[in-house]
Chain A
Amino acid sequence: MKRKSVSYAKWGYIFLAPFFIVYCIFALYPLISTFYNSFMDYVVDRSTVGGGWGTSSASTAKETISFIGLDNYKDALSSNETLVQSFWNTVIMWIIGFIPQIAVSLLLATWFTDLRLKIKAQGFFKTVIYLPNVIMASAVAFLFTCLLQKNGALYSFFEPIAGKDLSLLDKVWGARGTVGFINFLLWYGNTTILLMAAIMGIDPGLYEAAQIDGASPSQTFWKITMPLIRPILSFVLVTSMIGGLQMYDVPSLLTKDNGNPSGKVMTLIMEIQQRKDSDVGKACAVCVIIFIVSAILGVITMIGLDDTKDKKKKKRRKAA
């Protein structure tokens, strides 16, 4: 029998295999076991190390594991737990950071790509804008702790706002604002670069045509730029939202893991980190909740910003 063509497909699969193997071991399996453990009453006794030297074979700390169905979820969402509060904390701090981030990024991206402005030394500015993102979040959080704590450089500057002998971090909105501000600082550069790439992908002819027709800059922005970068905008929104839900290092370091004042800066991942060594079942339940919420948010955003609807409309118009 004569072969008609050579199949290269198997090489594709072979080269793909390492990713899938790694993914299965380090992502898929933990994901499944997280789901599984979230239905368990899984509590570790941390008062002992459990070296396993003794006559019995138990080599880990004492654990009690039994199936309890949805109780972890009920507990996690009940009002005497802090988890619901932590969820709202996370969302609020994300919004505080995201709104200025997207506004500033859009503004900068438009300026840098504007044909009439012709800003010089763009490479320099782009690098400077992007720089904060290069620094580790933990380093920035530590820097702000140093600045804002007692005897810190900005302590007395903020004292009129925070109150006598208080740091900005002692106030709920001060601490939340600081977390949001740090996130804004770290990520607006990244977003600016993304949006610039999107804007530069737009046909310059459209801008020229708009200019000739006498459109004002704000008109070009709202009527040309915004609709055409929508896919990238939705990408930025979704990734930022998922990143925001996983907010951990900055609030944790700023509040020394306490999430104070009054637990109002505690985020969901901080809750998980606190519980994971002992209250494994509930920590898993929180993970699953985050997973589900991320998925829902993602789907909503995708639907909301999907441009296929417009295309459909256009098609219909054409048909008509």
Chain B
Amino acid sequence: MAKLKRVLAGALSLCMVGSMLTACGSSSSSDDAASSSKKADSSKADSSKAGDSSAADSSSEAPKAERMNTAELHGKDSSDKSKNTLRIYCWNTEFKLRFDAAYAKGGKYKVETASYKDDKGKELTEIKKIDGKDIEWVQVENEGGAYQKALDEALKGQKDSDNKVDMFLIEADYALKYTDSKDTDYSGLVALSPQDIGITDDDTKNMYEYTKDAVRDPISGDVKALSWQATPGLLYYDVAMAKEVLGTDEPDKVQEFVKDWDAFKETAKKMKDKGYIMLSSFADTFRVFGANMTAPWVTDKKLNLDPQMEAWIKQTKEFTDNGWNNKTDQWQPAWNADMKKGAKVFCFFMPSWGVDNCLYKQGGDEAKGKWKACVGPAGWFWGGSWLCGAVDSDNQDIVADIMKTMTCNTDVAKFLIDSVGEMVNNKEAVAQAKDSYKNEFLGGQNHIALMSESADKISLKGKISAYDQTCVEKLQGDMAEYFKGTASYDDCLKKWKQDVKAAYADLDVG
């Protein structure tokens, strides 16, 4: 009996293996034809790809193809439920908070609101319905490319789905992926052109040029996304430490101590002597160097490490070895803790959105008056968020009005300055705030005036590519070991290249 069983089992397993192999053979032969046709496709794509460089250098060039009306319905009609829902993809609540607070100041649609408590127990009002339609926020974590992945899936399926995405947010690190139509046949098109849904050049006249250039589609020449913020960065220093160590807390005078990297280093030494620490994380100065890069991370599918990045690595190693930073990792609890009152860290490089999103969020009302701003060793900026309407959105009127209200309306811009200290993407509002604005959290300082000087000089041209988020996150993650002294520079660099290659197999990492 046992023998019979064994024979049976053997026969069955043979059958299984056999069927597996036959499946293999037949499918590969039948698919040969398919793969060769795909090959033909791809070679066609290659030939038309000549101008499809990943750099944002094409904004000044003439459009490469005839415009198409992006507002038309291209795919399947949507369901009633989708028509009655405004679906917005985002990675944090930054825009939602702005929208909840400011839309009613200039929007033309009636909204229904409800109140809720945030995690600190603060009573807030949120917009539940706009023009009788529900708002659905789809929030996905930005780190590790999770947001991009979720958004890609949704946009890829948009054409055949009856539940349409209406609006989504993008960040400078990957903006090009969503604004560049890639090919003269618009194969990469996912975002509505604002002009197709009724937003005119006149509406956007107050915006900083770079916020438009960065998201201009090289194929059609259209601006594809609008931003409510400009993102120049400043150096925020601790007032009490400045007074104790440097003998002054006046922004103009403190600026003298940090006016270039040499002075910055000298100040770091002084801080250490008094028991303070200049910076918190390894990556604190990363964006200051990154904003001054000479070429994007990826040009023509080739990965390169910019001299500015090498400078960042060198400087951070020096700072770490000398104990001038607190060896934390950005966005981690220890980094957040360094922003609280009573922490030992002297300064943070923060872009415009960092005051509200980081310094205030972590420090709370307790930290009022702890920070003041000065320009720091170099002019810089960090990212920024843009609003995009999704092609085939079934609520284009509402999307258009939200974009127009939040990014073009001067009253809303002024409100955002006054309520959260936002550096808005509206020159008129900024010009007015230059004289009168006082930020309560920064002890009454007018940091908008400081930022407005550098906002005009920002250029993202030739600095961003669609691959930035991964390159940046992986470089910071892999280099941390070099800074901590547990691995050599060459090993970390090799690991970084391998990581980028794993995420983007079609890149030449050298």
Residues of A bordering B, CB below 8 Å:
32-33, 35-36, 39-40, 43-56, 58-67, 81-82, 146, 149-151, 165-166, 170-171, 256-258, 260-263, 271, 274-275, 277-279, 282, 308
Contact = CB atoms under 8 A, between A and B. Distances in A.
Given A48-B188, A51-B391, A58-B41, A43 B337 contact: no
Given A149-B329, A151-B334, A262-B481, 14 more contacts: A47-B177, A48-B177, A49-B188, A53-B189, A54-B185, A54-B187, A62-B187, A63-B38, A81-B498, A150-B327, A170-B484, A258-B477, A262-B487, A262-B495
A151 B31 contact: no
A55 B219 CA distance: 13
Given A45-B506, A256-B477, A151 B333 contact: yes
Interface in B69-116: 70, 74-75
Interface string B175-219: 011101111011111100000000000000000000000000000
Nearest to A33: B27
B436 interface: no
B31 to A, nearest CB: 7
B18 interface: no
A33 B28 CA distance: 10
| Interface SS majority for chain B | helix
A48 to B, nearest CB: 4
Contact of B20 (A32, A44, A51, A64): A32
Contact of A53 (B152, B159, B176, B466): B159
29 contacts: A33-B27, A36-B27, A36-B31, A39-B28, A40-B35, A48-B182, A49-B152, A49-B188, A50-B156, A53-B190, A53-B391, A56-B187, A59-B159, A63-B38, A64-B38, A66-B36, A150-B327, A166-B486, A170-B481, A257-B144, A258-B477, A260-B495, A261-B481, A261-B487, A262-B491, A274-B499, A275-B503, A278-B506, A279-B505
A49 B177 contact: yes
Q: Which 9 A-B pairs have the closest CB atoms?
A: A54-B186, A279-B505, A47-B466, A51-B190, A150-B334, A48-B188, A274-B502, A54-B185, A53-B189
A274 B186 contact: no
B187 A35 contact: no
Contacts of A48: 177, 180, 182, 187-188, 466
Nearest to B54: A47
A275 B68 CA distance: 35
Contact of B334 (A149, A263, A278): A149
Contacts of B39: 64-66
A55 B185 contact: yes
Contacts of B337: 151
Nearest to B38: A65
Question: What's the interface size class on B, roughly?
Answer: 35 or more
Contacts of B152: 49, 61
A46 B501 CA distance: 12
Contacts of B227: none
A62 B35 contact: no
A146 B185 contact: no
Contacts of B501: 279
A81 B495 CA distance: 10
Contacts of A36: 24, 27-28, 31
A106 to B, nearest CB: 29
B186 A53 contact: yes
B477 A60 contact: no
A54 B189 contact: yes
B87 to A, nearest CB: 16
A171 B484 CA distance: 11
A52 B187 contact: yes
A103 B328 CA distance: 38
A260 B486 CA distance: 10
A165 to B, nearest CB: 5
B155 A51 contact: yes
A270 to B, nearest CB: 10
Contact of A149 (B28, B32, B333): B333
B481 A66 contact: no
A56 B159 CA distance: 13
Given A64-B42, A146-B333, A260-B480, A49 B486 contact: no
A214 to B, nearest CB: 36
Contact of B42 (A63, A81, A261): A63
